[in-house]
Amino acid sequence: MTDEFIPYGRQLLDDDDIEAVVEVLRSDWLTTGPKVDLFEEALAQQAGTKFAVALANGTAALHAAMYAARVGADDEVVVTPMTFAASANCAVYTGAKPVFADVRGGTLLINPDAVAEQMTDKTSAIVAVDYAGQPCDYEALRRLAEDKGVTLVADACHAIGGSYQGKPVGSLADLSVFSFHPVKHITTGEGGAVTTDDPEMAARLRLFRNHGITTDHRQRSEQGSWFYEMVDLGFNYRITDIQCALGLTQLGKLPAWIERRQQIAARYDEAFAEIDCVDPLVVAPERVHAYHLYVVRLDPGLDRQAVFATLRDRGLGVNVHYIPVHLHPFYRERFGTGRGLAPVAEEAYDHMLSLPMFPAMSDEQVERVIATVDEVVEQLS
């Protein structure tokens, strides 16, 4: 068998994806055109929500979600530290203060008890992350958000195609945010979206994506009018029709891709149950896990850096998701955060590893990952 490099994640594009993009390039509308509407309709259907608003990327979608939730300076946003920095950065963009609530050790999902402890009179939103593709404990989170009158935002960038208590990811919070970066489940190159059932929030998302202007180029063109008004400060966070055409063909393949990810996860689970020093994360009840990532915890007696480096040498694109956000220099310096603030996330970070997981992985590649991990942890134990 060859020792070709297996990345931790990788996009999958077919001829139909490429043809859909080329078709848009030959059409009248490169941006704010009909493919944006079609992609949004398809996303809303996937999420089971009334509205979806597509944006330039997942980070812009998070920023727009903060605007829709009316998060402002002097507010606090409770967020998990076990995520990509963008989940917390969106609060900082608005002038609000991110407040970190620790995760549960088994799933690494935000712990609702820790959220409750961090909530104050200043809390205006909670950002929960469906880490690795597993939906959070939304029953408890919703109750907290409703009791205190704060907006619940799901950073669902890992979890499109998953579900909780039979309800699809995208419909589980007031606002749910997606990313279509190439390492995510479906890609538009760069791209993102927010889903919601709230018409006012949907309107605010559209306003924010277009400079705070009440009509877009196509609406003015159709009305034969030059008139527009800017009613608030927004950004150019629009997505193109080129991207949305790709998103539409990609979204059609999502169910098959989720199924393949789940098959790979099931094989990993079965194999690692036999390997003492490698523990998969826990999957909580009532979840359909979308497996953006497959994360294991290594025995604390193993040197994670040595395991990581040896696996990389052996051609496995292992990774670490994530350095807890509150440990980044920016957060330490701006907000005085540091070790000890979220001990469960910090301990998990010290011993975690993400293994290759993407739908185009062959069974042979999956077996090679398992065999190589087994040999390397044995050798380094």
Ligand X SMILES: *Cc1c(COP(=O)(O)O)cnc(C)c1O
Of the candidates 360, 354, 168, the residue with the CA atom closest to the CA atom of residue 264: 360
Burial of 242 (0-12, 13-18, 19+ CB in 10 A): buried
Count of CB atoms within 10 A of residue 270's CB?
A: 11
User: CB of 292: closest distance to ligand X in angstroms?
Assistant: 7
Indicate whether 129 belongs to the interface with ligand X (CB under 6 A).
Answer: yes
Smallest distance from the beta carbon of 293 to ligand X, in angstroms?
9
Query: Tokens at residue 347, please?
Result: 């301990």
Minimum distance between the CB of residue 108 and ligand X, rounded to whole angstroms? 12
Give residue 334's region: left, alpha or beta (phi > 0; psi -120 to 50).
alpha
Q: Which of 94, 179 has the CB closer to ligand X? A: 179
Contact characters 154-193, ligand X, x per CB under 6 A: -x-xx--------------------x-x----------x-
Query: What residues does 287 pair with on adjacent strands?
Result: 164
Does 294 sit near ligand X (CB under 6 A)? no
Residue 58 found at the interface with ligand X (CB under 6 A): yes
- Minimum CB separation from ligand X for residue 263, in Å? 22
Our finding on whether 107 is near ligand X (CB under 6 A) is: no
* Residue selected from 8, 67, 84, 291 as contacting ligand X according to rule CB under 6 A: 84
Q: Which of 87, 163, 243, 310 binds ligand X (CB under 6 A)?
A: 87
| Residue 233: CB minimum distance to ligand X, A | 21
User: In 265-307, which ranges are E strands?
Assistant: 278-280, 287-288, 294-298
Interaction residues for ligand X, span 192-211 (CB under 6 A): 192
SS3 370: helix
Q: Which residues pair with 355 in a beta bridge?
A: 294
Q: Rounded distance, CA 126 to CA 128, Å?
A: 6
Closest CB to ligand X belongs to which residue? Answer: 58
Q: Which one of residues 57, 176, 210, 250 is an interface residue with ligand X (CB under 6 A)?
A: 57
Residue 65 CB, shortest distance to ligand X, in Å, is 11
Q: Which of 46, 49, 59, 188 binds ligand X (CB under 6 A)?
A: 59
The token pair that represents 245 in the structure block:
């055409």
296 by DSSP, 3-state: which?
Answer: strand
Active-site option among 50, 97, 148, 184: 184
- The nearer residue to ligand X, 179 or 243, going by C-beta atoms, is 179
The answer to whether 62 touches 210, Cβ cutoff 8 Å, is no
Helix (H) or strand (E) holding 196: strand 192-196
Q: Would you give the end-to-end CA distance of the chain in angstroms?
A: 26
Measuring CA to CA, which residue among 235, 190, 258 is closest to residue 64? 235
80 binds ligand X (CB under 6 A): no
Is 253 among the residues known to form the active site?
no
122 to each of 86, 264, 312, how far by Cα in Å? 21, 43, 45
**Does 134 sit near ligand X (CB under 6 A)?**
no
Q: Which residues are catalytic?
A: 184
Binding site for ligand X (CB under 6 A): 57-59, 83-84, 86-87, 129, 155, 157-158, 179, 181, 192
